[in-house]
Structure 1
Amino acid sequence: MTTTSTLTNLREVGGPGFQSSRPRTVFRSNTEPDVPATAYPPGVTVVDLRRDDEVERVSHPLGASAGYRAVPLFDPSSPVESADDAVELEDQYVDWLERHRAGIADALRVVATTDGDVLVCCSAGKDRTGIISALLARHWGADDERIGRDYAASAAGLVDRFAAERAASDDPAATARAQRCVPEIMTTVIAHVERRWGSVDAYLRWLGLTDDEIGAL
């Protein structure tokens, strides 16, 4: 993986201006080594969705700050990240909604109970971060177009990272699948949530979030 002095995939959840009427802002980003603290929004609470082994390999630049929270999205009790037949990203994400529900709930609780601005991140800021971001955006009233556009915006932010991954890949087909970043991926996932549970808020309740926690989001 290449290193950079900037966060190439940093932005507000939902896109510019979407949260302008809200009392705080939730950001999303990738994680890169050696990024200075000045690259991050000031005073932000970090919700790091990466596994413990990922954090050990690449420590978060704000890992020593009082506002850092390690909240792995992937449930460590699960022996796999997603089912073997979940090949496409849409299928993997849908699988995560139930398989890794504990991590999703934990991450959303941190957002709900944190005062001030929040930054949600994983490694690339596309997949795990994409799930949390899409759930939040829909909860806040985003339509399909906005949710899809916010997800797909990672393609531009990860151009160099994706190129490095392709150059090092022994399985180009698998790498291409993992790098897909088009609006339909996340709109398909949100559509599944609303078919399966009725709404994003109903899914959050199924996760175990209370009405107070959902309201605090």
Structure 2
Amino acid sequence: MNSTTSILTNLRPVGGTALQADHHRTVYRANTEPVDADAYPAGLSAVIDLRRVDETAAVPHPLAATPGYRGVPMFDPSSGLESAAKAIALEDQYIDWLARHRSGIADALRAIAATDGDVLVCCSAGKDRTGIVSALLARHWGDSLEAIGDDYAASAARLADRFARERAASTDPEATATAQRCVPEIMTTVIEHVERRWGSVDDYLRAIGLQDAEIAAL
């Protein structure tokens, strides 16, 4: 594959470097673009790619040939839908995903828990599916709602050029604007829903099938 750039614009540690300072490994989040392999942190033990099979076929991950690469589609194909028709706003879509795609979320978190070394979690833009997994991890680690919202919203500036290209090519500007919305309140609303509905992020993880040992390994 011919690389077009050596910079991965939406790559960063989940929750920021300080949140993971006392961890034995670093979990990174990122978008997926045709970049050089050296755009990624050195020494990754696992790459957890949350994209659908058709997405990974269309844009193969630059690290797909490495031993730690794993395709772990977050969207459960058995659901038939990515989100409910009535879930228009992103926060409603994400909340719908928590139940509709619980098996994919669980698989992604299990893959992280099972890895001793540094991990990269990614999807297409590194904002939506990666955003959900990142927010759950950050809250499990004790991050504040404000910080989680800010980490989510940081993708807006990092994806500005990509979003501009998408808007220029869009035949449905309203839908594109909805998909690109990236403000702190989206993810804080989602985590607040988790804590109202299940009590805590850890209780949600148990509800989707993670065992206590797997949660501890996160």
Name the CA distance, whole Å, in 2 between partners of 1:128 and 1:196: 20
After TM superposition, list the pairs within 5 Å mapping 1:31-180 onto structure 2: 31-33=32-34, 35-44=35-44, 45-180=46-181
After TM superposition, list the pairs within 5 Å mapping 1:173-188 onto structure 2: 173-188=174-189
Maintained 8 Å contact 1:15/1:146:
no
* C-alpha deviation, 1:156, in angstroms: 1.0
Maintained 8 Å contact 1:105/1:208:
yes
* C-alpha deviation, 1:4, in angstroms: 3.4
> Residue 25 of structure 1 corresponds to which residue in structure 2?
26
* C-alpha deviation, 1:172, in angstroms: 0.6
* C-alpha deviation, 1:76, in angstroms: 1.1
Q: What one-letter code is carried by the residue in structure 1 that aligns with 2:144?
A: D
Identity %: 73
Maintained 8 Å contact 1:89/1:178:
yes
SS at match of 2:66: coil
SS at match of 1:194: helix
Q: What one-letter code is carried by the residue in structure 2 that aligns with 1:65?
A: T
* C-alpha deviation, 1:98, in angstroms: 0.2
User: Is 2:200 aligned against 1:192?
Assistant: no
> Residue 7 of structure 2 corresponds to which residue in structure 1?
6
Q: What one-letter code is carried by the residue in structure 2 that aligns with 1:95?
A: D
Q: What one-letter code is carried by the residue in structure 2 that aligns with 1:135?
A: L
Q: What one-letter code is carried by the residue in structure 2 that aligns with 1:124?
A: A
Name the CA distance, whole Å, in 2 between partners of 1:7 and 1:75: 27
Q: What one-letter code is carried by the residue in structure 2 that aligns with 1:42?
A: A
TM-score norm. by structure 2 comes to 0.97
* C-alpha deviation, 1:16, in angstroms: 3.0
Alignment gaps of 5+ in structure 1: none
Name the CA distance, whole Å, in 1 between partners of 2:25 and 2:6: 26
Maintained 8 Å contact 1:49/1:73:
yes
Maintained 8 Å contact 2:5/2:36:
no
Please give the root-mean-square deviation of Cα atoms over the aligned residues, in Å: 0.7
Name the CA distance, whole Å, in 2 between partners of 1:83 and 1:55: 24
Name the CA distance, whole Å, in 2 between partners of 1:88 and 1:174: 10
TM-score norm. by structure 1 comes to 0.97
> Residue 215 of structure 1 corresponds to which residue in structure 2?
216
Moved over 6 A (4+): none
Name the CA distance, whole Å, in 2 between partners of 1:106 and 1:5: 30
SS at match of 1:138: helix
* C-alpha deviation, 1:87, in angstroms: 0.1
Name the CA distance, whole Å, in 1 between partners of 2:108 and 2:167: 30
Name the CA distance, whole Å, in 2 between partners of 1:204 and 1:112: 12
SS at match of 1:153: helix
* C-alpha deviation, 1:6, in angstroms: 1.3
Name the CA distance, whole Å, in 1 between partners of 2:74 and 2:5: 25
